[in-house]
């Protein structure tokens, strides 16, 4: 059998948060108009019971908040935990004309969001999180705030928009004038100059790609960073980054607490994989899905133009397959979608290779979409590779796209 195989690859430039805590799970292996058997041997694994690692501090489950009905509050650290006598002040939003017409401007301190949307009648209420939003009381005077923003790790669509909104929000809504940009990631705290950020400086950065502040991987030295924060008189730190970055933010927060500094550390998770609990979308996700569809469409055009064409499109998705799934559903040209959440097998009845054979006989071509984290165990077993990590501490993934291309080529020679 002659086999024409094309591979379209979208590079993965970002550091992914390796937990998928969505409250729902799907099986996204698609066999449209196919009579072949499902080749998933194992049930879909939901990651919703795994711990979340997206906050600036390692999350704590407050056992005092576990009631008889199974209600558990997974709380976030607060300055008053180690500075109990910290004075509070009225929120400046009370003076904002934009908020004056809102019936309920502030989030109630006791408001929480449930991790699981669907529960049974007699099941425990489960884990809950603090609801985000403005509080009636704040712990900084606007004129005393010196904030800084840093971006770390790989690139992601929307970073500049996040930077712009932090600056404009602090300045326009809270009256903060002293905002610094840390250049070049974590190492920028102690090896780079800072820049002054104002609404005018960041006015049009959302129209640019990349990160206005530049970035880097690694370079985290907790003591040097906190020394710099202390020397510069910074009391609010906004850290934009993925899983490795947020682990670093947790260390900074712990060191701040150890020194008893009035410094708030806020972690803003950066992941286009959309794998964060209790939110609808993470920034950059829609752009990633849109770009992924272009790659899928290109692969489909190419495989339709040849006999027995096989198109393999590898998309971002270290531990979760939301980009691959949404791009597949939007495209409608995909025969098979492989994601990390759904284990699959290759050979034998109902396996991937059998499905490829059947689809080639039926249609004369096939398009396969796979998230980069899918099938890693097969690649590692074949290549006898040992796990390695990048500068941010993330596991380096093997190229499952090239590996699968090679396997299918061998199968049809």
Catalytic residue ranges: 273
- Are 1 and 306 in contact by the 8 Å Cβ rule? The answer is no
- Which tokens belong to 298? 């290109």
Long-range CB pairs of 356-361, under 8 A, 24+ apart, other chains included: 356/310, 356/408, 356/411, 358/34, 358/35, 358/36, 359/34, 359/36, 359/335, 360/1, 360/308, 360/310
User: Furthest-apart CA pair in the chain: how many Å?
Assistant: 77
- Say if strands 365-371 and 336-338 run parallel, antiparallel, or are unpaired: parallel
d(CA 140, CA 146): 10
Q: Bin 384: left if φ > 0, else alpha if -120 < ψ < 50, else beta.
A: left
**Neighbouring residues of 301: CB distance < 8 A, sequence distance ≥ 6:** none
Other beta carbons within 10 angstroms of residue 8's beta carbon come to: 21
């Amino acid at each position: 059998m002659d086999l024409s195989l094309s591979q379209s690859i979208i590079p993965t430039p970002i550091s992914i948060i390796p937990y998928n805590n969505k409250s729902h799970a799907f099986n996204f292996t698609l066999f449209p108009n196919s009579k072949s058997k499902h080749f998933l041997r194992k049930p879909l694994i939901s990651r919703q019971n795994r711990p979340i690692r997206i906050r600036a501090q390692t999350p704590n489950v407050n056992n005092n908040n576990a009631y008889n009905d199974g209600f558990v509050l997974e709380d976030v650290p607060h300055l008053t935990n180690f500075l109990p006598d910290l004075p509070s002040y009225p929120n400046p939003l009370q003076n904002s004309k934009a908020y004056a017409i809102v019936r309920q401007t502030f989030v109630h301190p006791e408001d929480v969001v449930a991790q699981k949307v669907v529960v049974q009648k007699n099941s425990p209420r489960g884990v809950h999180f603090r609801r985000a939003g403005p509080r009636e009381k704040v712990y900084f005077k606007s004129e005393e705030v010196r904030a800084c923003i840093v971006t770390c790790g790989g690139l992601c669509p929307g970073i500049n928009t996040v930077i712009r909104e932090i600056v404009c929000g602090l300045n326009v809504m809270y009256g903060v004038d002293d905002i610094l940009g840390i250049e070049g990631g974590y190492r920028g705290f102690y090896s780079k100059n800072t820049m002054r950020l104002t609404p005018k400086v960041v006015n049009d950065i959302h129209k640019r790609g990349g990160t206005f502040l530049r970035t880097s991987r690694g370079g985290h030295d907790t003591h040097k960073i906190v020394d710099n924060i202390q020397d510069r008189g910074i009391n609010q730190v906004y850290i934009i980054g993925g899983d490795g970055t947020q682990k670093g933010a947790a260390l900074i927060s712990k060191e701040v607490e150890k020194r008893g500094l009035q410094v708030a550390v806020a972690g803003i998770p950066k992941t286009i994989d959309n794998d964060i609990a209790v939110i609808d979308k993470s920034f950059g996700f829609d752009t990633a899905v849109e770009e992924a569809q272009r790659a899928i469409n290109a692969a489909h055009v190419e495989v339709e133009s040849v006999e027995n064409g096989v198109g393999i499109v590898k998309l971002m998705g270290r531990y979760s397959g939301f980009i691959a799934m949404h791009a597949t559903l939007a495209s409608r040209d995909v025969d098979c979608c492989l994601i990390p959440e759904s284990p699959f097998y290759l050979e034998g009845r109902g396996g991937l290779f059998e499905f490829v054979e059947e689809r080639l006989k039926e249609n004369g071509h096939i398009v396969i979409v796979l998230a980069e984290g899918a099938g890693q165990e097969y690649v590692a077993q074949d290549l006898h590779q040992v796990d390695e990590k990048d500068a941010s501490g993330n596991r380096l993934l093997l190229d499952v796209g090239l590996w699968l291309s090679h396997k299918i080529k061998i199968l049809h020679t």
